Structure 1
């Protein structure tokens, strides 16, 4: 299988090249030349197998230049009981007659990003051995909270790699910030940006295509790659967990093989729900893809109108990992919907860069709306949903999962659709303790983060993750804070 660039369809690379490079040289994102198929027979063969075996089946369809031994090494190194607190890697909890929460946060950093970022270092280093065996890989990351820590944990002390993570200084929770700034590892660094996630993400993309930086890399025998979902190696493991979840639902007799499931995802950068779209187009029986946004509802508006417009007020919300106005992975979807016309994609995203907006044609809008439903909720509704879900089902959501639950409930009320639905549960509630506590109690909250953790444990009877408790006595290593205009200098400093 080969991969094309969304901005240059004549660019054709192997999976290893796509993963090692991260992003195409002209700024496009890599996508499969032809999407592989998965049949009901394939899913039937997965029933009763481990998560690792399911992952190998799916990944082998995309990573055709990896040997069986290489794929076994990557998967079995990533998904172990030393890294995940459940043998199933992910879990499914039923909340109501038709709703099922797919818990993707049982990994070392308590967020869904672990599902991909525990695997990516192995995919990346294996890819580099094939494509650039003598080079050191410099991994740049922009994070809205969860990707940063998951990437740092996955890449710490990995030979022949360096990693630099940029995060918005006031755009992450206290626990997310502590996770990153205390990170161990001799090859990692973390830096705050005086701005929002879009500033960090745009800055990283510009650095990838900066000719001066490219010359510096060449001189140092280094190459860039990315751990953000712009890297295909980040996205393909996310396809796995939707297919695995469908098989698990069949195994548990919640559905019959061939029954349709809807999927609801809280998303900002569009990667998590795009993975579900790809799974659907491979042949997985998925009905509606429900795209849940917080108050930064640029995706909701786009699905409704066909106009993508980032020229709007930016809100710092209780669900900070979704505080995004430029959804990078939307480019991959639009490349598919417009018939893989790289000139159209280049034109739209040039307009986004220049004017902050673009509009798709009626045909693309119709295709978009046939697959996707968009909804949003504000912080008040988010907290209300956490409280209601806890009171009704005894289930504690984090602030991002609650956005998806609320939008799912709105969708059902609006459409009357009773199709069983997988809702992506993206983080442990202990990563957003203050806002979760405010949702379930009116008691005065302690100011200390770890006292809040104790209070939440007492109220919920849910055991907090050991990895978060361990942060209490960790030393802060990274205190740098810079403007977005200083990002290039920070990268140059690291390259030395």
Structure 2
């Protein structure tokens, strides 16, 4: 049976999976959602014996029904290969009373690799399936990790170009160096004078600019997105929750059908939404624990039912979560509104206008699966130090936000259900913040001296993704104002 997709903001149109992946964003500005969540009707004993690639196929074939078996398996094979430095793709480490699902073993040492390794293949396959002759222009805003992972995925992919916008002073030094040294004739990286929400709003405005769309069509181009708003990003993220559960069961860490909790450090809401979709497919997940940093707009939402982005934007040591407009939350809002596109559109209109909205009491009752809390900068640093000193395991700042919130959850609820924590980035990506948390004696060291010291104290080899940027040449140095973003794109395209 074919699974179709519709916009969160209108009831009119349905598209196939490949069309939704190609478009990225619906014509009305909404996000594509499946008309129903497919059931994971495969026995756990069977899943437990599978490789990551095999689990990926079982999950994705239920969502991407217009891809043939051969097409989908080819995409998976190209994505999850030797780019990853472990055969398991997403290994699990038991430490400090939780299971850390390490999602950072790909080419750019962050969880975005898990989806962005496959998206270029899904997208180019979709273009062929739909007889698209235009060159696909990937337009992406990043708070740090999506940018490099998307650039690495799309670099020199025929028939595509990619432009990444990032907040010039809002990413870590390693994140920035990873992006600005990116090779590939079809790549462009641009720093903006603003924060991530400014970059994201600028990108969304270009997607909704009908005049720009018409002029690009004339020149043989069309936009698509590599942000987590693209359903081709979201579905591959469901895979690793299913895989983690299957591996815990295979390793006798949990019994069959035993419920687990999932803890996710959350910014744009895509990663935790993938866990929610996994739960709705039938995976035995109990609580979805949403961990925020000092930009705690989601914590306030889960506590009060009111979403309000009108607040100070705080730069933290977990910059990928420095977000006040969590785009993927719209998919959850649509669902808890009873898949009512009119109601959802009304709330999103309030968000873009006054910057806030409030959900109804009946919608609030639909949030029972979720628990939200946040970790301050001090709490984040303290948990990095505590886990290292107690277990010799080093986690990055984003994973530390999740670990800190999980401790709060357990203290508050006394719930001892086993928990998987999504470990979203390598500590090497945020070496200075991590090392400062462990001991402030490293202040005088340079970025790469710190990297070597981190390797020494953790006993973990420096990842190839870091080694290759030590002496890499800066290839992208464009910086612009938010209102100059469209001009930068059209210049890059030679329009």
- Shorter chain as normaliser: what TM range? over 0.9
Alignment partners' CA distance in 2, 1:463 and 1:76:
26
1:293 maps to what in 2? 292
What pairs with 1:296-445 in structure 2 (closer than 5 Å)?
296-368=295-367, 370-445=368-443
Of 20, 32, 48, the residue aligned with 2:34 is 32
What pairs with 1:87-486 in structure 2 (closer than 5 Å)?
87-97=87-97, 99-368=98-367, 370-486=368-484
Alignment partners' CA distance in 2, 1:463 and 1:151:
24
Give the drift of 1:447.
4.0
> SS of 2:61's equivalent?
helix
What pairs with 1:71-82 in structure 2 (closer than 5 Å)?
71-80=72-81, 82=82
Q: Which moved more, 1:446-455 or 1:71-80?
A: 446-455
1:488 maps to what in 2? 486
* Partners of 2:379 and 2:404 within 8 A in 1: yes
CA offsets per residue over residues 298-325 of structure 1, 9 Å max, x none?
0000000000000001100000000000
CA offsets per residue over residues 112-137 of structure 1, 9 Å max, x none?
00000000000000011112431110
Give the drift of 1:444.
3.7
Give the drift of 1:494.
2.1
Alignment partners' CA distance in 1, 2:48 and 2:455:
35
TM-score by length of 2: 0.98
Alignment partners' CA distance in 2, 1:239 and 1:309:
28
* Partners of 1:157 and 1:186 within 8 A in 2: yes
Give the drift of 1:388.
0.3
Size of the aligned set, in residue pairs, is 492
What pairs with 1:8-87 in structure 2 (closer than 5 Å)?
8-39=10-41, 41-80=42-81, 82-87=82-87
Give the drift of 1:452.
1.1
Give the drift of 1:220.
1.3
Alignment partners' CA distance in 1, 2:8 and 2:104:
31
CA offsets per residue over residues 56-107 of structure 1, 9 Å max, x none?
0110101110001101100001001x2000000011011134x100000000
> SS of 2:476's equivalent?
coil
Q: Which moved more, 1:456-465 or 1:148-157?
A: 456-465
Give the drift of 1:44.
2.3
| CA RMSD across the alignment | 0.9
Alignment partners' CA distance in 1, 2:133 and 2:352:
35
> SS of 1:9's equivalent?
coil
TM-score by length of 1: 0.98
Structure 1: gaps of 5 or more residues: none
Alignment partners' CA distance in 1, 2:20 and 2:305:
30
* Partners of 1:450 and 1:469 within 8 A in 2: no
Give the drift of 1:378.
1.1
